[in-house]
């Protein structure tokens, strides 16, 4: 081998080294070549977590593994995401990848295609209470004691029992008070009276947030710092409910369901404290709504003769599912629908035509 050949080989290797090394370093740092923009771009990642797990992830129609999973080295742009699992309705969303950022969807709920519905009890009484049906013996005893205390000491005042405390609105001055079950302690919670009306009191599980819903449809939320009620909806509100994790509440009119964030949400999609969002609108009447307490990121509600479930994640579009269509297995119209979710048994209960039914959303199978 001549010296000239050796020099050519040496300098060729040097050129290859200085050409390939930056590419290897760039790849190791998470960069990929974008053929559309003809340049190297820092990539991003997806993270998907679903209940149940093992749903197949499709990114732009290409299978990319199963939940729960990180998917790395994706160029910044929007992607069509579909997650499928046999026996479940697909979850679909358009999500954006940004350079150096993990885009997350941690609360994906895969809803059964045909959840089995079980008749729990026939010929239930007209005054049958679903909430009482799901209570434990201890919880029932507390409610009975609270009722006795209310009838004895502040009769006709609206109240709510939370933990071992009773919050009640004194009808003589429309001021909110708090006492314990034994009425040993008493403290004034609000400083200024609410407008004259008939109210329903709702208190969050941690007792830090309190709402008052008037019969006229006006909704007030207690400003804990100033200890005064502030109006958050002027009319037509039918009900309000705090989430079990205390971070949000929803309220609804006959046609609109709204969520209000009571705390800053630090997981994607991020939300600011005080942020309001219209979750859904319908031309049909919204009859009732409850939180899905397994993740606090879905709401179950009744429209017409259909029980539906909707997610709060508003990126792309919200996934909304039909859980039950009453006309498929029950005759007549669904009047005054009652629904409740029992976290202990992981069952959704509902009543139609004096019959109590249940189904399990989490697995699509009954206990």
pLDDT by residue (tens digit) across 264-309? Answer: 999 999 999 999 999 999 999 999 999 999 999 999 999 988 999 9
pLDDT by residue (tens digit) across 222-262? Answer: 999 999 999 999 999 999 999 999 999 999 999 999 999 99
Q: C-alpha dihedral over 130, 134, 139, 144, to 10 degrees?
A: 30
d(CA 241, CA 222): 14
37 pLDDT band (50/70/90 cuts)? low
Residue 258: in which H helix or E strand, if any?
Answer: strand 256-261
Tokens of 21: 């090394």
341 pLDDT band (50/70/90 cuts)? very high
pLDDT by residue (tens digit) across 140-150? Answer: 888 888 887 77
Is the predicted pLDDT of residue 365 greater than 50, yes or no?
no
Burial code (b: 16+ CB inside 10 Å, e: under 16) for 130-145 equals: beebbeeeeeeebeee
Cβ atoms within 10 Å, residue 30: 15
pLDDT value at residue 11: 63
DSSP track, 1-61: --HHHHHHHHHHHHHHHHHHHHHHHHHHTTEEEETTTTEEEE-EEEEEEEESS-PEEEETT
Please name the CATH architecture into which domain 118-359 falls: 7 Propeller (2.130)
pLDDT value at residue 21: 55
Provide the whole-model pTM.
0.88
CATH class of the domain comprising 43-109: mainly beta
d(CA 237, CA 255): 10
Can you tell me whether residue 149 is helix, strand or coil? helix
pLDDT value at residue 201: 98
Residue 222: in which H helix or E strand, if any?
Answer: strand 219-223
Alpha carbon distances (Å) from 280 to 42, 103, 250, 271, 313 = 36, 24, 11, 18, 12
Can you tell me whether residue 145 is helix, strand or coil? helix
pLDDT value at residue 209: 98
Is the predicted pLDDT of residue 68 greater than 70, yes or no?
yes
The number of angstroms, rounded, from the C-alpha of 202 to the middle of its chain's C-alpha atoms is 18
Is residue 256 within 8 A of residue 278, CB to CB? The reply is yes
Strands 175-180 and 159-162, sheet pairing: unpaired
Average pLDDT, the chain: 88
35 pLDDT band (50/70/90 cuts)? low
Percent of the chain past pLDDT 90, that is, above it, reads: 65
364 pLDDT band (50/70/90 cuts)? very low
Alpha carbon distances (Å) from 47 to 95, 99, 364 = 11, 15, 25
Task: Give mean pLDDT, residues 18-33.
Answer: 54
Is residue 297 within 8 A of residue 91, CB to CB? The reply is no
Q: Report the chain's C-alpha Rg in angstroms.
A: 28
d(CA 311, CA 93): 11
Cβ atoms within 10 Å, residue 332: 10
pLDDT by residue (tens digit) across 72-96? Answer: 989 999 999 999 999 999 999 999 9
pLDDT value at residue 366: 32
d(CA 189, CA 185): 12
Is the predicted pLDDT of residue 338 greater than 70, yes or no?
yes
pLDDT value at residue 321: 98
pLDDT value at residue 340: 92
pLDDT value at residue 149: 77
Q: What is the DSSP letter of 108?
A: E
Percent of the chain past pLDDT 70, that is, above it, reads: 86
Dihedral sign computed on CA atoms, order 49, 282, 243, 259: positive
Is residue 171 within 8 A of residue 153, CB to CB? The reply is no
d(CA 129, CA 147): 15
Can you tell me whether residue 169 is helix, strand or coil? strand
d(CA 358, CA 347): 6
């Amino acid at each position: 081998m001549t010296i000239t050949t050796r020099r050519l080989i040496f300098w060729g290797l040097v050129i290859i080294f200085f050409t390939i090394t930056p590419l290897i370093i760039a790849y190791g740092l998470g960069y990929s070549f974008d053929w559309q923009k003809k340049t190297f771009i820092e990539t991003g990642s997806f993270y998907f977590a679903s209940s149940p797990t093992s749903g197949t992830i499709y990114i732009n129609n290409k299978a990319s593994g199963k939940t729960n999973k990180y998917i790395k080295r994706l160029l910044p742009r929007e992607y069509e995401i579909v997650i499928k699992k046999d026996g479940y309705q697909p979850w679909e969303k358009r999500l954006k990848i940004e350079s150096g950022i993990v885009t997350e969807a941690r609360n994906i709920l895969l809803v059964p295609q045909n959840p089995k519905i079980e008749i729990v009890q026939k010929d239930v009484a007209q005054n049958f209470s679903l909430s009482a049906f799901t209570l434990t013996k201890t919880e029932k005893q507390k409610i009975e004691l609270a009722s006795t205390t209310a009838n004895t000491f502040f009769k006709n005042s609206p109240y709510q029992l939370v933990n071992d405390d009773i919050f009640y609105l004194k009808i003589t001055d429309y001021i909110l008070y708090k006492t314990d079950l034994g009425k040993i302690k008493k403290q004034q919670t609000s400083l200024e009276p609410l407008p004259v009306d008939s109210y329903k009191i709702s208190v969050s599980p941690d007792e830090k947030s309190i709402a008052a819903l008037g019969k006229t449809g006006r909704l007030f939320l207690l400003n804990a710092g100033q200890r005064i009620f502030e109006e958050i909806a002027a009319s037509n509100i039918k009900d309000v409910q705090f989430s079990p994790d205390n971070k949000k509440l929803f309220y609804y009119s006959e046609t609109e369901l709204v969520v209000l964030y009571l705390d800053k949400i630090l997981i994607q999609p991020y939300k600011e404290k005080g942020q309001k969002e219209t979750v859904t609108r319908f031309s049909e009447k919204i009859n009732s709504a409850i939180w899905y307490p397994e993740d606090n990121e879905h709401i179950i509600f009744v429209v017409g003769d259909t029980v539906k479930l909707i997610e709060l994640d508003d990126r792309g579009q919200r996934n909304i599912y039909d859980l039950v269509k009453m006309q498929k297995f029950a005759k007549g119209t669904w009047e005054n629908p009652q629904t409740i979710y029992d976290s202990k048994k992981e069952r959704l209960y509902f009543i139609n035509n004096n019959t109590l039914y249940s189904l399990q959303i989490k697995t699509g199978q009954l206990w």
